[in-house]
Amino acid sequence: MKQQYFKDKVVVITGASSGIGLACARLFAAQGAKLALAARSLDKLQVIQKELPAAVLAVKTDVSKEEDCRKLIEQTIATYGGIDILVNNAGISMRAVFKDLDLKVLHQLMDVNFWGCVYCTKYALPSLLERKGSVVGVTSIAGFKGLPARTGYSASKFAMNGFLDTLRTEHLYDDLHVMIFAPGFTASNVRFSALTADGSPQGETPRKEEKMMSAETVARHMLRGLRKRKDQMILTPLGKAAVLVNKFFPKLVSRMEYKMMKAEPDSPLS
């Protein structure tokens, strides 16, 4: 990776206190970027702020609240003078079949995963256009093919993908870079905090986290995609195969997904 590409670039990362967001913060810092880190836990961000060898602005942010997102962007611009890269990483997941789902869960998924991306992008867009910068949406294969027992999650990621794809087309000749970034299953705490049918966190992961791609590996892929200004990145072979095969044999992919999700421990599909 070219060491100078990210030097002094201003990078905003939501969901920066753990997982992919934290791994990206560490890698951007090592590359000489200036960071604005956003998460609901200011205490965690302040610990990270002291750890990183870079200029770091820590902003307590609930991305489901438009005012929080506006303040995040305004504080970043006031501190650094502009924004070069916005990483919309904050997100939550869920695990329940729709017939059992309290609709407040679906609202919460949309508020965080979709509206959080929209709010931050809206307020950062003037600066990003001025600097010919980049917008990243950390999405999922569930945003390309509906995933059973993940209705709210899939809906929010489909919406995010559609929003970012349209944004890219609207600014096709403005040199705005928009990247849809789908890492696949990644070792993180997202499944521990995934919401169940009544909105309570499930508290444990149904998957073998140690066999998944590490957040650090995902971060390296993201920075490579940003440097090459890629439109879309799907990282795992399984994810790439699912998206490709679904174009020609959607029922086959649906059956495979159903079988895989049903095999999870305590699956809602059982």
For the annotated catalytic residues, the residue numbers are 153
8 A C-beta contact, residue 215 and residue 188: yes
8 A C-beta contact, residue 57 and residue 35: yes
Which phi and psi (to 5°) does residue 134 adopt?
-130, 140
8 A C-beta contact, residue 152 and residue 101: yes
Torsion, CA 262, CA 265, CA 269, CA 270, rounded to 10: 100
Q: Which of 121, 134, 163, 152 is nearest to 24 (CA)?
A: 134
What is d(CA 121, CA 135) in angstroms, rounded to the nearest whole number?
A: 7
What is d(CA 159, CA 180) in angstroms, rounded to the nearest whole number?
A: 12
8 A C-beta contact, residue 22 and residue 47: no
Angle at CA of residue 236, ends 107 and 94, nearest 5°: 20
Structure tokens at 69: 């997102």
What is d(CA 190, CA 213) in angstroms, rounded to the nearest whole number?
A: 14
